[in-house]
Amino acid sequence: MSLSFELLATDGLARRGRIATAHGTVETPAFMPVGTAGTVKAMMPQSVAETGAEIVLGNTYHLMLRPGAERVAALGGLHKFMNWPRAILTDSGGFQVMSLKELRKIDRDGVTFRSPIDGIQHRLTPERSIQIQHLLDADITMSFDECTPWPVEKEDAARSMRLSMDWAGRGKHAFVDRPGYGLFGIVQGSTFPDLREESAKALTAIGFDGYAVGGLAVGEGQELMFQTLETTVPLLPADRPRYLMGVGRPSDIVGAVRRGIDMFDCVMPTRAGRTAQAFTRRGELNLRNARHRDDPRPIDERCGCPACRHHSRAYLHHLIRSEEILGPMLLTWHNLHYYQDIMRGLRAAIETQSFGHWIAAFEQEQGRGDLPPL
């Protein structure tokens, strides 16, 4: 195991840990902003770091198409290329097997994609996906899998999961172990407990530096997602980090930490920020709505982000309405800052054995709703 994971404290099933990567440590529970194409959209790398992020996600599929993995490698790797000196986790392309279902053909050996950029065919196998992630210099490499869509017949979920397990084994062989670098396996099996169990056992038998839970937050709803975590997480090795892929909203993250998850990534704070939605302690706000037109207050007077320290809701509303680029920038910044505030709060709560109290306060405040309009 060349990726060290230290378990610092626990409170119930919740864990406080530390991952040491070749590009710095990552305090867990951790949220990883998504930087698909070598950029966390609408954010400068330094600003991403200032929110408290210690690791971002990059994407095999997108970087393979453009500018190309070999080109990134020749330019010194993804950290240097995007000027992000900290840790990077790369998705394997497995999500695109689902999200680009109209543009790909899947077979036992791998997946052929037709590029949405120029129509050219690209081939991704477990081995090539790992190789690309090496070329990108990812600190954490993800196994190539198929993110199983939902809803799905059990038979199809089983076939999909077993294919991903086969690919996980092939990826493990292709992975070049180095100090500070790690490979994660991804548990599939949709919402079927016995399939999740089969998948978890298959992965632990192979042995990975960390274990991800994939195929969730794809439409099944929070309750089913939590149920699936409750049956899956206990099957994962306690001494390895656990990553819930693609999740989620603040309440999803909090609930998953309570169930033993250590790492998260999600486009929600960045994408929603670009589409005028702000996440706050007291719930969600759509800054495009007319009710903010004359509101001189910040999104959240207790938030320390630049949007909240320097700008009114009225101004942010104006920027969004005017389609000024600063609008998406500031809202993305706010959302990422708020997400990292949550993670800081979760980590501190677990350290001080006050997790239950923290969650109660979190839920109470979220339920209270936005401040009344002026």
Please identify every residue annotated as catalytic.
91, 265
Q: Which residue, 11 or 31, has its beta carbon nearer to RNA?
A: 31
Binding positions for RNA, rule: CB under 7 A: 34, 36, 40-41, 57, 59, 62, 91-92, 94-96, 98-100, 102-103, 116, 142-143, 145-148, 186, 212, 214-215, 217-218, 222, 245-249, 252, 265-268, 270-272, 274-277, 286, 288-291, 293, 321, 323, 325, 328
Minimum CB distance to RNA smaller for 19 or for 256:
256
Is 92 one of the annotated binding-site residues? yes
Rounded least distance, CB 264 to RNA, Å: 9
Identity of the amino acid at 302: R
| 303 assigned binding-site residue | yes
Cα 373 to Cα 282, 294, 306: the distances in Å are 14, 10, 22
Label the pairing between strands 182-187 and 140-142: parallel
Rounded CA gap, 57 and 300, in Å? 27
User: Is residue 63 within 8 Å of 37, Cβ to Cβ?
Assistant: yes
Question: Is 94 labeled as ligand-binding?
Answer: yes
CA of 179: how far to CAs of 68, 141, 237, 262, in Å?
25, 13, 20, 21
Q: Are strands 30-33 and 263-266 parallel, antiparallel or unpaired?
A: parallel
The closest of 65, 29, 34 to 48, measured between CA atoms, is 34
Which residues on adjacent β-strands are paired with residue 187?
213
99 marked as binding residue: no
CB of 263 to RNA, least distance (A): 11
CA distance 20 to 9: 16
93 assigned binding-site residue = yes
- State the Cα–Cα distance between residues 272 and 362, nearest whole angstrom: 21
- Which one, 21 or 335, has the nearer CB to RNA? 335
The reply to whether 147 sits in an annotated binding site is: no
Q: How far is the CB of 16 from RNA (least distance, A)?
A: 22
Which of 76, 40, 47, 13 has the alpha carbon at shortest distance from 236?
Answer: 13
Name the residue nearer to RNA (CB basis): 179 or 219.
Answer: 219
Of the pair 135, 263, the CB lying nearest RNA is at 263
Q: Which residue matches tokens 């991952």?
A: 19
Q: Can you tell me whether residue 257 is helix, strand or coil?
A: helix
Q: Quick one: 21 or 92, whose CB is closer to RNA?
A: 92
Q: How far is the CB of 170 from RNA (least distance, A)?
A: 15
Q: How far is the CB of 235 from RNA (least distance, A)?
A: 18
Answer yes or no: is 95 a known binding residue.
yes
- Count, in order, helices (H) and strands (E) of the chain: 15, 16
State the minimum distance, in angstroms, from the CB of residue 112 to RNA: 15
The alpha carbon of 35 is separated from its chain's Cα centroid by a whole number of angstroms, namely 10
Residue ranges of the annotated binding site for substrate are 91-95, 145, 188, 215
Residue ranges of the annotated binding site are 91-95, 145, 188, 215, 303, 305, 308, 334
Residue ranges of the annotated binding site for Zn(2+) are 303, 305, 308, 334
